[in-house]
Structure formats: C-alpha cells, structure tokens
C-alpha cells in the first residue's frame, strides 16, 4: 500500500483519504502513542483490502502552534 506520494493542502488530503478509503476499504486501530523529538507518534494496526494486510504503521504528526503541519506514515 506504500504509495510514495506527498499530498499538500486540506483539499488534496481530503481527496487522497477518500480515494484510499474507497480503494482499500481500510480500518485503523490505534495501539500506542508517544511524544518524540520529531513529533507525536501513533502506532496503529491498519487492515484492509491491500497486500500484506494487516500491518502495524507509525503515524508521525508534526505539530506547530496547535495544528498538524505534517504527517508521515511508515
């Protein structure tokens, strides 16, 4: 499911999320979270109709002034 893409702006991110949900019919189950040097890290089980499902991924949120500025999914 690694798409290797970058999405910028609220509308682009909404469109990507909607398309991914339709394509992969995924669910996300949070497992753990912590604050690190690079941001807030949330580990979650991602399950859906993609090869290798389910997987555990790390969502790393970069936050500035109380708003999400970046999100990296690994």
Average confidence (pLDDT) per 10 residues, the chain, 74 residues: 78 91 96 95 97 96 92 91
Residues 15-24 have pLDDT tens digits of 999 999 999 9
Fold classified for 26-73: Nuclear Transport Factor 2; Chain: A, (3.10.450)
pTM attached to this predicted model: 0.82
The share of the chain scoring above pLDDT 90, in percent, equals 74
Nearest to 33 by CA among 25, 41, 24, 23: 41
The domain locations on the chain are: 26-73
């Amino acid at each position: 499911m690694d798409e290797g893409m970058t999405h910028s702006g609220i509308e682009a991110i909404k469109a990507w999320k909607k398309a991914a949900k339709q394509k992969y019919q995924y669910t996300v189950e949070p497992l753990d979270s912590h604050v690190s040097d690079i941001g807030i890290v949330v580990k979650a089980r991602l399950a859906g109709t993609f090869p290798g499902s389910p997987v555990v991924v790390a969502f790393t949120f970069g936050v500035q002034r109380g708003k999400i500025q970046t999100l990296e999914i690994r």
